[in-house]
Amino acid sequence: MGTVDVAKGDLPQAPKRAADPLILVRTSLVLKITPIPLITIEERDHLDPIRCMSLAPKANPPGSTAKSDEARFRAHVKAQAESLRSSSDALRELQANMAHLEAQAASNEVRAQGLVSRVAELEAEARERESTVLQANTALADTQRRLEEAQAHITTGTAELVYMQGQLNHMNRFSRRGGYAVGNPIRLLAESHHYTVLTVTPLNQVYDIPFLRIELNSPVSYDFGPDIPFPHS
């Protein structure tokens, strides 16, 4: 071994040995971890999958096994990124659909209020028309009643006219019996309901009988009947 001078800086050294293969393998399997910078979800949604893989932890073991592991890891990261992007797109589409449905619901509510107002207007118009029809029916009934009254008056007037015609014929017969051949000595002036008894006065005076007013234009020398006194000329 020999002596060692500590003052000169000589330190005892272990004897050199041959390199152990297991130690080399264990040393080579030590992974080098690269820290990932912190990012938000929004930033991650807009990152490219390749960029995401560049931010992922890197393992650099030597050999073909390490390369295949890295390829699988990259594929997994890419699949996760695609899934995340699809989920984000689906979420945005769902939010857009929800906003559209909310707007449509608000529009439908406004339209429903308009329909309610229109229904109220139609009901008011229906009530007004019903009232108009009721008034028209009342007026029609009143008109029908007046027509019936007018028909009754016409019937009564027809009977009165028949009676007056009979009175005229009667007076004309009496006048012809008196020897007057030119025209009818009795002339109808107007209807009169003031008297119910035939009244005879001197020549060229007006005479009233039921429903008639007559004027005697010629002297009469006969009596009209036992109930009607008439002075002979």
pLDDT of residue 48: 58
Question: What pLDDT is stored for residue 176 in this prediction?
Answer: 64
Look at residue 117 and tell me whether its pLDDT is greater than 90: yes
| Rounded distance between C-alpha atoms, residue 166 and residue 125, angstroms | 61
- The DSSP 8-state label assigned to residue 214 in this structure reads E
pLDDT value, residue 72: 85
Write down the domain spans for the chain.
153-216
Report in angstroms the alpha-carbon separations of 161 from 115, 165, 211, 214: 67, 6, 8, 14
**Phi–psi pair at 214, nearest 5 degrees:** -120, 160
Pairing status of strand 212-216 against strand 206-209: antiparallel
At 55 the pLDDT is 54
With cut-offs at 50, 70 and 90, classify the pLDDT of residue 136.
very high
Q: What does the pLDDT look like over 15-27, one tens digit per residue?
A: 555 555 444 444 4
Q: 51-65, 77-91, 145-159, 178-192: which has the minimum mean pLDDT?
A: 178-192
* Residue 177 · residue 171 · CB < 8 Å: no
Report the range out of 26-30, 83-87, 183-187 with the highest average pLDDT: 83-87
